[in-house]
Structure 1
């Protein structure tokens, strides 16, 4: 009996972790893929790529605020200047932004260090964007 209960609990816990692990991919598909592409490829010279993007690798301190507040003005990604408005995602919690950024950091050849929720909340203080969740 004890072993069965332990296995059932382990299966439930694994399901929780699997769900959370895929949260970043779901958030990307819902909030980002329509512009940045399913594979983070961007759109020619209109929308910057996230796949293999030097901007993602070099601007870790600003990524959380970029997601929360958006961008209006030029930015250079992989040597190409982009100048389109990216809307902010005020509806995402700090933890959702963390999951989203970690998905981008580990997809399409990107090899960025994972974010913690605490780090994202601290980075969001710079743009008065943390919701503490």
Structure 2
């Protein structure tokens, strides 16, 4: 009987704490659980694909390689137009680009074998890593972007 009161007190505290959640402020949006799960999946798979196809030039930490290959970490070019980035991943790029005020003029090879979902995963990974924050690039959006790549400058 001596242990009953402390046990009851612990049980009451536990039960009252389980049902509460922190109050959301007016400017906080509730997180869509499915979007959160999909973002996590895209980030995990995107990292694997990035390490396979992109990190030799852009480096594992996204810092690029000197003046040869541009950084993706904190890249103004990357964050300005994710549609163009998807097209660059698929079709490659020749010619000069400016990234964070520095000129780069190395050819980026095409990855025509990658599927729209793989490109979506890479774009999501690079646009949400190393200080970049863009959210998920959905496969349906990337599929549409890739249809318009022919108009993009290569």
Report the TM range for the smaller structure's normalisation.
0.7 to 0.9
- Alignment length (residue pairs): 113
Match of 1:74 in 2: 96
Q: Extract unaligned runs of 5+ from structure 2.
A: 1-37
**Is 2:42–2:125's contact at 8 Å kept on the other side of the alignment?**
no
4+ runs deviating over 2 angstroms = 17-21
Structure 1 portions without partners, runs of 5+: 1-16, 129-133
Question: Structure 2 matches for 1:26-45, cutoff 5 A?
Answer: 26-45=48-67
Partner in structure 1 of residue 47 of structure 2: 25
1:98 pairs, out of 105, 115, 120, with 120
For 1:119 and 1:55, the matched residues in 2 are separated by: 19
Distance in 1, Cα, partners of 2:86 & 2:42: 19
CA distance, structure 1, for counterparts of residue 43 and residue 132 of structure 2: 17
> What SS class does the counterpart of residue 42 from structure 1 fall into?
coil
Aligned residue number for residue 80 of structure 2: 58
TM-score relative to the length of structure 2:
0.69
Tell me the equivalent position of 1:108: 130
* 1:87 to 2:109 alignment: yes
Distance, in Å, in 1 between the alignment partners of 2:41 and 2:132 is 22
Partner of 1:14: none
SS across alignment from 2:103: strand
Q: CA RMSD in A?
A: 1.7
The structural deviation recorded for 1:61 is: 2.4
CA apart distance, 1:127? 2.0
Q: Deviations over 1:60-108 (max 9, x none)?
A: 2211111000110000000000000000111110000000110001100
Match of 1:123 in 2: 145
State the alpha-carbon separation in 1 of the partners of residues 103 and 43 from structure 2: 33
Rg larger for: 2
Which residue of structure 2 aligns with residue 9 of structure 1? none
